[in-house]
Amino acid sequence: MLHTKPPSLLSLKAASIKTSNSKTSKRPKRFNARLFPYVSTVFVIAFSAQAIADQSAWTLMWSDEFEYQGLPDKAKWGYEEGFVRNQELQYYTRARKKNVRVENGTLIIEAHKESLTNKDYLKSAPLDDWQKSRKTSNYTSAAITTQGRASWTYGRVEVKAKLPKGRGIWPAIWMLGLNMNEVGWPQCGEIDIMENVGFDPNVIHTTVHTSKFNHTLGTQLGEQSTVIDPHNTYHLYGIEWFPERIDFFVDNNKVFTFSNDGSGEQAWPFFAPQYLLLNVAIGGGWGGQQGVDPLIFPQKMTIDYVRVYQQTSQ
């Protein structure tokens, strides 16, 4: 399964993607639970997506091919735990194979409808302190992260995945600035390589968040792509990150570019390391806009591999 270069375009289904014309979306993001209307877009023909140009310029620096069994490699992955963000309904568990495991050469992140005790519960917590006032969860899932283990500045990041399906599901492949705990969000910068919400099942969202460009200002920048059967078929989601821009790809077809406008770190905080997160959320400000179907569970995101490349000349 291991390759030293990204796979050839000939092996990928370029015609499975349609991209939208809009570059601005106004949906809610993970660090704010407020609801914002999403701007609808008109799709263009599949072949308008631009293909990646020179794959020979990249050298593999870090990967997990998931050629083992059990929990994710603890040298590469850590966990988020509890009720974390966006008033989502799932309780993220730590090192629990029911929610995250490696089997048959793939990583599985699996969401379940079940009750679990909230370790952070406080009887005295006010109701608006949702992370502590919930005594138990109605759903469980997992979020794994390379924070404290691996982070990168520039390069190519790609994840080959099949997505969960159903109303209320919200899987994501994304990155956050390593300085998140010091400067906060969105100052740290966020790169959403792939997001999908169950009520809009075939649409893949790629977005960025910075102090200048985010939903609270109505300036969030991103793109939508229609993908054929992202739930039963593997697709490749990735970025190529340079000092002057970030290119976003689905199945090696360029679907969005975010450019450094030269105005400073309010617009471009992406000169510093970012770490990777993989998760399956349930409900929340965006994923739960049309409710959660309790009959769909369990649901899982299956990941074939995660790879990080750097330019050969670096």
**Side chain identity, residue 147:** Q
Please report whether residue 41 resides in a domain.
no
Tell me the pLDDT band of 19, cut-offs 50, 70 and 90: low
Which pLDDT score, from 0 to 100, does residue 51 have?
52
pLDDT tops 60 at residue 1: no
Residue 22 has pLDDT above 70, yes or no: no
Residue 83 lies in a domain: yes
Q: What residue numbers bound the domain in which 225 lies?
A: 60-311
Q: Per-residue DSSP letters for the chain?
A: ---SSPPPGGGS-GGGEEEBS--B-----TT-----PPPP--B--GGGSEEP--GGGEEEEEEE---S-BS--TTT-EE--BS-STTBSEEEPSS-TTTEEEETTEEEEEEEEEEEE-TT--TT--TT-HHHH-SEEEEEE-EEE-TTT--BSSEEEEEEEE---STTEEEEEEEEETTHHHH-TTTT-EEEEEE--TTSTTEEEEEEE-SSSSGGGT--EEEEEEES-TTTS-EEEEEEE-SSEEEEEETTEEEEEEE--SS-TTT--TTS-EEEEEEEEEBHHHHTTT---TTS-SEEEEEEEEEEEEETT-
- Please state whether beta strands 299-311 and 155-162 pair in parallel, antiparallel, or not at all (unpaired): antiparallel
Give the Cα separation of 227 and 230 in Å (integer). 6
pLDDT of residue 14: 38
**240 is known as an active-site residue:** no
CATH of the domain at 78: 2.60.120.200
Mean pLDDT in residue range 211-224? 92
The pLDDT of 66-93, averaged and rounded, is: 98
Q: Considering 190, 223, 244, 265, which one is annotated as catalytic? A: 190
Q: For the chain, what is the domain count?
A: 1
Assigned domain for 277 exists: yes
Task: Give domain status of residue 49, yes or no.
Answer: no
Evaluate whether residue 12 is within a structural domain: no
CA 80 vs CA 43, 129, 311: distances in Å: 36, 18, 30
List the catalytic residue out of 80, 110, 195, 240: 195
Nearest to 80 by CA among 97, 61, 89, 93: 93
Is residue 190 part of the annotated active site? The answer reads yes
Residue 251 lies in a domain: yes
Q: Is 107 within a domain?
A: yes
Q: How confident is the model at residue 312 (pLDDT cuts 50, 70, 90)?
A: confident
Span 252-287, pLDDT tens digits: 999 999 999 999 999 999 999 999 999 999 999 999
Residue 124 belongs to some domain of the structure: yes
In percent, how much of the chain has pLDDT > 70? 82
Average pLDDT on 291-310 reads 99
For the chain, the average pLDDT equals 87
Convert the pLDDT of each residue in 131-166 to its tens digit. Answer: 999 999 999 999 999 999 999 999 999 999 999 999
